Amino acid sequence: MPVFLNTKDDGFDAAFAALLTMKREETPEVDETVAAIIADVRHRGDAAVIELTTRFDRLTLTPETLAIPAEEIASAIDEVPAPERDALELAAERIRAYHTRQMPQDHRWTDPEGATLGWRWSPVSAAGLYVPGGLASYPSSLLMNAIPAQVAGVGRLVVCAPTPDGKVNPLVLLAAHLSGVETVYRIGGAQAIAAMAYGTETIQPVDKITGPGNAFVAAAKRRVFGKVGIDMIAGPSEILVIADASNDPDWIALDLLSQAEHDDSAQSILITDDAGFGQAVAQAVEARLKTLERRAIAGASWRDFGAIITVRDLDEAAKLSNRIAPEHLELCVADAQALSLKTVHAGAIFLGPWTPEAIGDYVGGPNHVLPTARSARFSSGLSVMDFLKRTTVAQMTPEALKAIGPAAETLAKSESLEAHGLSVRARLARLNERAGE
């Protein structure tokens, strides 16, 4: 059973604090293992990647077969049934349309002193996109990572998608095709992250690595950050639903289970202002768990990390939501728009009972790669901005330098950086010489 909390009860603050600090993913010795894998890939390149793929994915490769051949990709794509192809194409179209609107504009202006200032945006040259395999492989994740990169103008996109036992998901390859990705490596884990970051004899290094993965992938991304950019360190999935009693308990139960079925470390929380409704949702969850295909995983997640919190009113619900800072936030209340203005920390917000979080995972348009573990307090979901760099631009005229240069010289002297000040003074002196001629 999940945890039941009520803000009116004594001890609520302590219980809620414990909920916030609950560790949902134990990773003993993971970092040590990952460090060894990265060192091995850096030292032995292809040989290390091939050996590790044999060990973890039970797949024997050669340097020539690390990447899936174009003809194999085309053949696999042909196997995709029409309904699934149509659905993936719709998703790709909507995701592309949404992210195209995110593209920022270059800007330049001349200030009153005559200085021309501004900025320009340019894409990273190469990006590596990780797509999980193992328990499940997600073509939707490939779309969510690759399309923003393509829209941003990244010149070279590669995908690492593990294929345990050699089993390829045709939908993943179709998603790569729809996203403009031509190179798909059938490798995964920390070794894939290391190969994309440092390169091997066969795999060229990239500038940015994005995409979710297990604890080993997350630890590897953390270790290679600085050598390459990364999107974020993603933890287990999570959802917070704020719902009043006007909702169908079964709908809310399914929304909670939509995250619980990801893995047994996922977390689903309901906040409601009606205790009876909370009990009805709990009963609906139990009923659905009896028939759900992934009931073992979802049941463990709900039992170990689920929570139902009863609050006095929706204002109190918003305050608790901001403390949780959830990855996904559903607002199933009469005035969802008004409540959304009070919930300032969330990776993604879904307004009203007709907007289940699952729509956001696939065809809504906004990105589903979102901050977890309360990091929505200070970070955002994946976007085209993750594949762009902003470069500032400045140009001084002689008049502008004469107007603001002395202040720069003064500040340089105050910081005891003599050459800084002299580089400005030399130019000012030349201007004064010209003025005296």
Is 111 a domain residue? no
Domain ranges, residue 269? 3-25+235-364
Final residue of a structural domain among 323, 345, 364: 364
Taking 90 as the threshold, does the pLDDT of residue 136 lie above it? no
Within a domain: 81: yes
pLDDT number for residue 351: 98
pLDDT beyond 80 at 114:
yes
- Tens digit of pLDDT for each residue in 79-108? 999 999 999 999 999 999 999 999 999 999
Active site residue 177: no
pTM over 0.75: yes
Q: Hey, is 367 helix, strand or coil?
A: coil
Q: 163 and 45 in one domain?
A: yes
Residues 257 and 215 in one domain: no
Is the pLDDT at 41 greater than 70? The verdict is yes
pLDDT at residue 27 above 90? no
Q: Looking at the structure, do residues 214 and 84 belong to the same domain, yes or no?
A: yes
pLDDT at position 134 is 57
Whole-number percent of the chain with pLDDT over 90: 92
Which of the following is catalytic: 177, 238, 262, 327? 327
pLDDT tens-digit profile of 214-231? 889 999 999 999 999 999
Residue 28 has pLDDT above 80, yes or no: no
- Please identify which of the residues 328, 330, 357, 368 carries the catalytic annotation: 328
Q: What is the pLDDT of residue 26?
A: 57
Same domain assignment for residues 46 and 161: yes
Among residues 184, 199, 234, the one where a domain terminates is 234
Domain end position, chosen among 234, 253, 282:
234
- For residue 207, pLDDT over 90 is answered with yes
d(CA 97, CA 128): 22
Q: What angle do CA 39, 42, 45 make, to 5 degrees?
A: 125
Query: Number of structural domains, the chain?
Result: 3
pLDDT at 135 over 60: no
Both 239 and 203 in one domain: the answer is no
CATH number of the domain that residue 281 is part of = 3.40.50.1980
Q: What is the DSSP string of 194-229?
A: HHHHH--SSSPP-SEEE----HHHHHHHHHHBTTBE
pLDDT in tens, 2-17: 999 999 999 999 999 9
**Do residues 404 and 113 touch, judged by C-beta distance below 8 A?**
yes
Same domain, 229 and 270: no
Q: What is the pLDDT of residue 235?
A: 84
pLDDT at 201 over 80: yes
Annotation says 345 is catalytic: no
What's the pLDDT band for 389 if we cut at 50, 70, 90? very high
> pLDDT tens-digit profile of 255-284?
999 999 998 999 999 999 999 999 999 999
CA distance 156 to 154: 6
**CA–CA separation, 139 vs 84, rounded Å?**
11
